[in-house]
Amino acid sequence: MSDPFVHPDGRCESDDVGAGTRVWAFAHVLKGASVGAGCNLCDHTYVEGGAVLGNNVTLKNGVQIWYGVTLEDDVFVGPNATFTNDLRPRAAIKKDEWELVPTLVRHGATIGANATIVCGITVGEEAFVAAGAVVTKDVPARAFVAGSPAVQKGWVCTCGDPLNADLACARCGRRFRAAADAVNGVVPAES
Amino acid sequence: MSDPFVHPDGRCESDDVGAGTRVWAFAHVLKGASVGAGCNLCDHTYVEGGAVLGNNVTLKNGVQIWYGVTLEDDVFVGPNATFTNDLRPRAAIKKDEWELVPTLVRHGATIGANATIVCGITVGEEAFVAAGAVVTKDVPARAFVAGSPAVQKGWVCTCGDPLNADLACARCGRRFRAAADAVNGVVPAES
Amino acid sequence: MSDPFVHPDGRCESDDVGAGTRVWAFAHVLKGASVGAGCNLCDHTYVEGGAVLGNNVTLKNGVQIWYGVTLEDDVFVGPNATFTNDLRPRAAIKKDEWELVPTLVRHGATIGANATIVCGITVGEEAFVAAGAVVTKDVPARAFVAGSPAVQKGWVCTCGDPLNADLACARCGRRFRAAADAVNGVVPAES
């Protein structure tokens, strides 16, 4: 790990970017953006002032992270996946009528390619939003959601594979159980 | 208002861009594009020659406006929302067989984040296309449409909030009535 | 045809790009990408090392072609259409656990604007993926698919128009027949 790497065609105007983070070509990190260490901000990404990224976050190409969006550590955002921070955007709105609506993506979650995340929701820990999904409500931890609008189709493991009916992963062997409050999804069995 | 502002990493090749319009980093406005005053063309946007934008239009990041697409004043286009101008694109088509199919977005309309607008349609005045929607037919004035393909779910106010069953807005108090020809949507009550 | 053209604001690091190919502003072709002749790589496109493009391929703006994705000759990819090469992306995955999942788009196919292509599939010859579709399984040759998830709605001609019930095109007169193995779609009548 070392200082952030900024590609000669990338632009980084924030002084709050962690060691080892890479800002690739035509990517743009604005003043006031908070970006952790070891992140990978691919070509044509954009991180707005006020946006918060933890450590080891991957933003694939064409992703924007707006003021009001928080991505915890180890979040993966697929190419062209799209966030928002306003539920009723209008070009003519007056600045003092504008209302910021936050979004939180918890540790280790995956946002699939070209998915759309409507603001005001939480995507739970290690949850998995399928490619192309349009997410309009909270996603429980380790839930797999897909479709337009996105609905839950199952549960996923830390490794990304589906969990079986016993909440176990056939590939890596991890086991899970329902959270105390089922709306929160599933958690490691030994937790 | 003053001359257009072009970020050092933005490119503006059109001489038909209005005062106060901003062209941000890695945005590209081509020769022959017509852009009004006070527009905000965010990072990674693209305005093709022949495209027409009115005044005070917002293009969030990753939006392209093609030849054949017209956005009237005060239109908001969310990030990665995508327009088209060809109903049967083929890489091998001969130039003289290519048919331009226009799209019109009327005054004050909102195109949500990552929405897809199939060409050949009109999005009515102050209509609201939800994030992630795939629009395949005309959208009446002040209609709210969502889904893939997009269907109408209700009506919206000038301010962006939903209208109630009486076509009134609980937030800002504006009132509307059905247009003389219902296919045209709803219009201000006193009009 | 001549050497590739690279716009002053485009970046081409591959030495395997064919004559007459154009790399437009803020587009980026990486070392190790294989790109044929006569391609059109529009603004804000990205071609990764290991990606393979045939001749006369069009990538409209905002498209990325990843390692593991192969586009044969004459493929058209609409703006912001999104490919993938990983079925379970996680930011924290170890490199030696990562599994590449390939995608093949056959000769002359069209991927519509803002479509999402989940990896591991083949899009057949001259098939047509509608704008905004989310493709999760193989697409037969000349099939027209739309929706989220995408389902087949009909057949299309080489020219892009729909085929009628007799597998003929009213516009250009071409005729087709079912392939010997129907799962493969339809083929020219005289083939």
pLDDT tens sequence across B101-129: 999 999 999 999 999 999 999 999 999 99
> How near does any CA of chain B get to the CA of A123, in Å?
17
**DSSP β-bridge partners for residue B40:** B22, B58
Long-range contacts of C67-73 (CB under 8 A, 24+ apart): C67/C100, C68/C100, C68/C101, C68/C102, C68/C103, C68/C119, C69/C102, C69/C103, C69/C105, C69/C119, C70/C102, C70/C103, C70/C104, C70/C105, C71/C105, C72/C104, C72/C105, C72/C106, C72/C107, C72/C108, C72/C109, C73/C36, C73/C107, C73/C108
Q: What is the torsional sign of CA C35, A112, A79, C146?
A: positive
CA gap B93, A65 in Å, rounded: 38
Distance CA C78, CA A88 (A): 28
Q: What does residue C151 show for φ and ψ, rounded to 5 degrees?
A: -130, 155
Nearest to B131 among A26, A44, A118 (CB): A118
For residues B71 and B65, what is the distance between their CA atoms, to the nearest angstrom?
9
| Of A46, A88, A116, Cβ closest to residue B114 | A116
Residues of C in contact with B91 (CB under 8 A): 56-58, 74-76, 108, 110
> What 3-state DSSP class applies to A140?
coil
Question: Cα dihedral sign for A158, A160, A161, A163?
Answer: positive
- Please give the Cα distance from A117 to B1 (Å, whole number): 34
**How far is it, in rounded angstroms, from Cα C168 to Cα A179?**
57
Least Cα separation, residue B164 to chain C (angstroms):
30
ipTM: 0.97
Both tokens of A95, joined, read: 């600045």
Q: Which chains touch C (3 or more CB pairs under 8 A)?
A: A, B
Is A91 touching B (CB cutoff 8 A)? Answer: yes
Over residues A6-23, the mean pLDDT reads 98
Asked whether B131 and B189 are in contact (CB, 8 A), the reply is: no
> What is the distance in angstroms between the Cα of B149 and the nearest Cα belonging to chain C?
7
Query: How confident is the model over A84-135, as pLDDT tens digits?
Result: 999 999 999 877 788 999 999 999 999 999 999 999 999 999 999 999 999 9
Q: Does position B149 have pLDDT exceeding 80, yes or no?
A: yes
Helix (DSSP H) and strand (DSSP E) numbers for chain A: 0, 23
Q: In a mutagenesis test of the B interface, which of C28, C41, C61, C161 is the best target, namely the one with the most B β-carbons within 10 Å?
A: C61
Given CB atoms, is A45 within the 8 Å cutoff of chain B? Answer: no
What distance in Å separates residue A181's CA from the closest CA in chain B? Answer: 30
For A136, nearest residue in chain B (alpha carbons): B131
In whole angstroms, give the CA distance from residue C7 to residue C27: 9
d(CA B98, CA B186): 36
Residue in the structure block whose two tokens are 């027209």 = C144
A41 within 8 A of A20, measured Cβ to Cβ: no
Does the beta-carbon distance from B110 to A90 stay under 8 Å?
Answer: yes
Cβ–Cβ contact B4 with A under 8 A: no
C113 and B84: CB-CB below 8 Å?
Answer: yes
- C5 has a chain B CB within 8 A of its CB: no
A-B contacts at Cβ under 8 angstroms? 93
CA atoms of C93 and A59, how far apart (whole Å): 14
Distance between CA atoms of B153 and A147, rounded to whole angstroms? 18
Q: In terms of pLDDT, which residue wins out, A152 or C184?
A: A152
Considering only the beta carbons, identify the residue of B43, B78, B160 that sits closest to A28: B43
Enumerate the residues of chain B whose CB falls inside 8 A of the CB of residue C147: 148-149
| Amino acid code (one letter) for B82 | T
% of chain A at pLDDT higher than 70: 99
Write down the pLDDT at residue B181. Answer: 86
Per DSSP bridges, beta strands A151-155 and A143-146 are antiparallel
Question: What's phi and psi for C128, nearest 5 deg?
Answer: -135, 110
CB within 8 Å: A112 and C89? yes
Choose among A46, A80, A91: nearest Cβ to B56. A91
Chain B closest CA to A125's CA: distance in Å? 23
Distance from CA of C148 to the nearest CA of A (A): 6
Taking an 8 Å cut-off on Cβ atoms, the answer to whether C113 and B116 are in contact is yes
DSSP conformation letters of A54-117:
-TT-EE-TT-EE-TTEEE-TT-EE-TT-EE-S-SS--TT--GGG-----EEE-TT-EE-TT-EE
- For residue A176, the model assigns a pLDDT of 98
C-alpha dist (Å) from residue B119 to B65, B68, B149, B159: 12, 9, 14, 26
Q: Is the pLDDT of residue B96 over 90?
A: no
Is B91 within 8 Å of C26 when comparing Cβ atoms? no
Mutate to test the interface with C, among B24, B29, B64 (most CBs of C within 10 A): B64
Instruction: Verify whether the Cβ–Cβ distance A89 to B78 is below 8 Å.
Output: yes
User: Which residues 148-177 on chain C approach chain B with CB closer than 8 angstroms?
Assistant: 148, 156, 158-161
Report how far Cα B12 is from the mean position of its chain's Cα atoms.
20
According to DSSP, residue B182 is labeled: G
Q: Longest Cα pair distance anywhere in chain A, in angstroms?
A: 54
Burial (CB count within 10 angstroms: exposed 0-12, middle 13-18, buried 19+), residue A182: exposed
List the single best residue of A48, A80, A148 to mutate versus B (max B Cβ within 10 A): A148
Chain A residue numbers with beta carbons less than 8 Å from the beta carbon of B57 are 91
Q: What does the mean pLDDT of chain B come to?
A: 96
Residue B159's pLDDT is 95
And the tokens for A137?
A: 């409500």
Written as tens digits, the pLDDT of chain C (191 aa) is 578 999 999 999 999 999 999 999 999 999 999 999 999 999 999 999 999 999 999 999 999 999 999 999 999 999 999 999 999 999 998 777 889 999 999 999 999 999 999 999 999 999 999 999 999 999 999 999 999 999 999 999 999 999 999 999 999 999 999 998 878 999 999 88
Is residue A166 helix, strand or coil?
A: coil
| Secondary structure (H, E, C), chain C | CCCCEECCCCEECCCCECCCCEECCCCEECCCCEECCCCEECCCCEECCCCEECCCCEECCCCEECCCEEECCCCEECCCCEECCCCCCCCCCCHHHCCCCCEEECCCCEECCCCEECCCCEECCCCEECCCCEECCCECECEEEECCCCEEEEEECCCCCECCCCCECCCCCCEEEECCCHHHEEEECCC
**A31 in reach of chain B (CB within 8 A):** no
- Give partners of B (≥3 CB pairs < 8 A): A, C
Report pLDDT digits (tens) over A48-86.
Answer: 999 999 999 999 999 999 999 999 999 999 999 999 999
Q: What is the DSSP letter of B53?
A: E
Number of alpha carbons in the 13 Å side-chain half-sphere of residue C107: 2
pLDDT of the residue at C47? 98
B56 touches chain A (CB under 8 A): yes
Is A116 part of the contact surface with chain B (CB cutoff 8 Å)? yes
Give the dihedral of Cα atoms B93, B95, B101, B104; nearest 10 deg. 130
What pLDDT sits at residue A1? 56
Predicted TM-score (pTM) of this structure: 0.97
From the list B43, B57, B113, the residue facing A91 with the nearest CB is B57
